[in-house]
Structure 1
């Protein structure tokens, strides 16, 4: 196998920045949401994914995959949100062994309440740093990388 060409300085800078971004950005948004809304980024993401799902419901495994969490981690988050009345867990109509997470009306209202804080945090910590960047092109490139793995 031939040796690939070395990275250009810009390529090297990008490759080195990505791990830091993947670590720092979620932590910064999480800290903002916890401070301003007393909701974690993982909880926000679970509510948001359910709000986008047909009938505002997903099987627990599907919700875990959509949130990029383990099933046990997702179960803990859903348990907390269920305790607040934001999500209900019901038996699957297709498979009585499985569980489905359902976003409640209170969950939708809470999502709408937290949304401005999430948006401000995303703009402050990420999008605000992309002035002059073709965001659409960047999004498509990142989606291609993600789809390849």
Structure 2
């Protein structure tokens, strides 16, 4: 406890503040596009997209929460809203009665097919085209290292 905190130098602080700004602004930009064009949030899209890529368009809720980077509680509320729209249904996992499966319905698949082109165009505009191929590779490596330092996601919180 007696050690002094090593404060960020000017370059470290500028880099950190630029990243913090991006962490806030990028999700907000993606959310705004999805809300405007499709009437869904970025988190809802992540849930639908995750299910659309899963075998049988089905995932355990715990795995889906980890994929979408949300808590089980948040995912439960979200899947309830999506179920009311007919895009998702939940069912007990026949292989593990303690688990619940989320399944993308045909209507949910249609929503993903309708929504994905606009979302991908926005990701391409604000992210992919803003960086060179080398920068994207470097950023992927950086994100992997930072995520490793943070540790595994905690979908059950």
User: Which of the five TM-score ranges fits, normalised by the shorter chain?
Assistant: 0.7 to 0.9
Partner of 2:72: 71
Q: Name 2:20's counterpart in structure 1.
A: 19
Residue equivalent to 2:154? none
TM-score, with structure 1 as normaliser: 0.86
After TM superposition, the structure 1 = structure 2 runs for residues 1-149 of structure 1, keeping only pairs within 5 Å, are 7=9, 9=11, 11-131=12-132, 134-149=135-150
Aligned residues: 148
TM-score when scaled to structure 2?
A: 0.82
Q: Is 135-144 or 37-46 further displaced after alignment?
A: 135-144
Across the aligned residues of Structure 1 and Structure 2, the Cα RMSD in angstroms comes to: 2.2
Q: How far is 1:136 from its partner?
A: 1.5
Q: 1:2 to 1:95 in 2, by over 3 A?
A: same
User: Which portions of structure 1, spanning 4 or more consecutive aligned residues, are displaced by more than 3 angstroms?
Assistant: 1-8
CA distances 1:69-119 after superposition (whole Å, capped 9, x unpaired)? 111111111111111111110111122232110112221221111011111
Structure 1 position 6, deviation (Å): 5.8
1:4: Cα distance to partner?
6.3
